[in-house]
């Protein structure tokens, strides 16, 4: 699949924005200023980006606890996301959702989800709506290796197959469901082994390689859009931080993350490839790095300064009418 230079720059900016957003949150969380639970997506950027680069306004995604990357990739406003995570009224959800419930339905982002395995049934519904209303849209459930063991996921794979829905089920296998290895908790060697049980293609892809993800995603999305039904895609990748911020990660190898960062980092691999092939100058990518740093700095500054919700906000937004 050919990517124009503009696409390459867009992909890099998307991945870099997610990375800086998460790296900065890691630092800010440690100061104690961010309330609640935060689950960072750093290390997994090529997955959200590789899929969402193919999507447009017709398409819907559902995410997981680890939802910041998907949100950014689907076009959610970065300032509003940051304000949300700080619990501010200017936040994407008015400070009522926080990190685990970041959503923007206008952008087709049906929400990060506090319930492991919460998203796949919703994505069947979004796919059904696209099919019934003939929008041409597709719907993607991003699920972790923990969530992919949930009954909701199994039921949804079956339903999507039976109804031939324009859905993708993407298992982002970072090797750990909380603190439990997928080697222990997953019954098969590869999640793609399960695809045959639901009569759909199962594709495994290296999630450190943006181009591999982009290609696999493109084929599955094309198939879904043209009425070919759902696909299961396993993206094998790594998370750079704990299950949540504050997780001491004593279950991980001593230099595990350090080694992955040094050898498999998706941003590093991307740069190596496009610079090596002389598709993009390093200077252009450096410029994006600088832009993104400034953007995140600005987002944090604004989020910190923004007012919190007031007592008047407590009881609103429960119902459309009551």
Partner 1 sequence: MARKITYQQAINEALSQEMSRDPTVIIMGEDVAGGAGTDGEQEAWGGVLGVTKGLYKKFGDRVMDTPITESAFIGAAVGAATAGLRPVAELMFIDFMGVCLDQIFNQAAKFRYMFGGKAETPVVIRTMYGAGFRAAAQHSQCLYPVFTHIPGLKVVMPATPYDAKGLLIQAIRDNDPVIFCEHKVLYTLEGDVPEEPYTIPFGEASVVREGKDVTIVTLGRMVHMATDAADNLAKQGIKCEVIDLRTTSPIDEDTILESVENTGRLVVVDEAHPRCNIATDVSALVADKAFDSLKAPIKMVTGPHVPVPFSDVLEDLYIPNAAKIEAAVRSVMGKKG
Neighbours of 255 (CB within 10 A): 10
- Nearer CB in complex with partner 1: 44/104: 104
Q: How far is CA 167 from the centre of its chain?
A: 16
Q: How far apart are CA 117 and CA 129, in angstroms?
A: 20
- Nearer CB in complex with partner 1: 128/260: 128
Q: Could you tell me how many residues make up the chain?
A: 322
Binding to partner 1 by residue 251, rule CB under 8 A?
Answer: no
Q: Which 76-105 positions form the footprint of partner 1 (CB under 8 A)?
A: 91-97, 101, 103-105
**Half-sphere exposure in the Cβ direction for 321 (13 Å, CA):** 0
Binding to partner 1 by residue 174, rule CB under 8 A?
Answer: no
Binding to partner 1 by residue 156, rule CB under 8 A?
Answer: yes
Binding to partner 1 by residue 63, rule CB under 8 A?
Answer: no
Q: How far apart are CA 192 and CA 155, in angstroms?
A: 16
Cβ contact 71:91 at 8 Å:
no
Q: How far apart are CA 294 and CA 302, in angstroms?
A: 12
- Nearer CB in complex with partner 1: 184/319: 319
Q: How far is the CB of 290 from partner 1 (least distance, A)?
A: 32
Q: How far is the CB of 124 from partner 1 (least distance, A)?
A: 4
Q: How far is the CB of 228 from partner 1 (least distance, A)?
A: 19
Binding to partner 1 by residue 18, rule CB under 8 A?
Answer: no
- DSSP secondary-structure letter at 252? S
Binding to partner 1 by residue 201, rule CB under 8 A?
Answer: no
Q: What are phi and psi of 16, to 5 degrees?
A: -70, -35
Three-class SS state of 95: coil
Q: How far is the CB of 98 from partner 1 (least distance, A)?
A: 8
Cβ contact 108:57 at 8 Å:
yes
Binding to partner 1 by residue 200, rule CB under 8 A?
Answer: no
Binding to partner 1 by residue 320, rule CB under 8 A?
Answer: yes
What are the C-alpha distances in Å from 210 to residues 9, 146, 230, 280? 13, 23, 22, 15
Q: Which 106-145 positions form the footprint of partner 1 (CB under 8 A)?
A: 106, 110-111, 113-115, 118, 120-126, 128-130, 132-133, 135, 139
Cβ contact 146:209 at 8 Å:
no
Q: How far is the CB of 246 from partner 1 (least distance, A)?
A: 22
Contacts of 80 (CB under 8 A, 6+ apart): 90, 91, 92
Q: How far is the CB of 200 from partner 1 (least distance, A)?
A: 15
Q: How far is the CB of 34 from partner 1 (least distance, A)?
A: 18
Helices (H) and strands (E) in the chain, counts: 11, 7
Binding to partner 1 by residue 38, rule CB under 8 A?
Answer: no
Contacting positions for partner 1 (CB under 8 A): 60, 62, 91-97, 101, 103-106, 110-111, 113-115, 118, 120-126, 128-130, 132-133, 135, 139, 151-152, 155-156, 158-159, 162-163, 316-322
């Amino acid at each position: 699949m050919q990517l124009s230079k503009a696409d390459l720059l867009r992909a890099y900016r998307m991945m870099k924005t997610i990375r800086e957003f998460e790296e900065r949150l890691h630092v800010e969380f440690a100061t104690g200023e961010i309330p609640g639970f935060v689950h960072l997506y750093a290390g997994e950027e090529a997955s959200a980006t590789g899929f969402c680069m193919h999507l447009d306004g017709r398409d819907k995604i559902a995410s997981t606890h680890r939802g910041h990357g998907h949100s950014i990739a689907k076009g959610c406003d970065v300032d509003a996301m940051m304000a949300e995570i700080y619990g501010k009224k200017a936040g994407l959800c008015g400070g009522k959702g926080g990190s685990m419930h970041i959503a923007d339905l206008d952008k087709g982002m049906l929400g990060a989800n506090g319930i492991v395995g919460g998203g796949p049934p919703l994505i069947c519904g979004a796919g059904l709506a696209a099919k019934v209303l003939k929008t041409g849209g597709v719907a993607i459930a991003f699920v972790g290796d923990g969530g992919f063991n949930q009954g909701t996921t199994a039921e949804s794979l079956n339903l999507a197959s039976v109804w031939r829905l324009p859905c993708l089920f993407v298992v982002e296998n970072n090797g750990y469901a909380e603190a439990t290895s997928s080697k222990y908790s997953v019954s098969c060697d590869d999640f793609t082994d399960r695809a045959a049980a639901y009569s759909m293609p199962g594709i495994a892809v290296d999630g450190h390689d943006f181009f591999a993800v982009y290609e696999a995603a493109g084929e599955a999305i094309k198939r879904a859009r043209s009425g070919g039904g759902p696909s299961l895609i396993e993206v094998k990748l790594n998370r750079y931080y704990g299950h949540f911020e504050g997780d001491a990660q004593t279950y991980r190898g001593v230099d595990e993350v350090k080694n992955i960062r040094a050898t498999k980092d998706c941003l590093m691999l991307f740069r190596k490839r496009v610079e090596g092939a002389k598709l993009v100058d390093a200077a252009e990518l450096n410029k994006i790095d600088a832009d993104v740093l400034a953007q995140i700095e600005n987002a944090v500054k604004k989020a910190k300064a923004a007012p919190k919700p007031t007592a008047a906000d407590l009881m609103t937004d429960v119902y459309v009418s009551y």
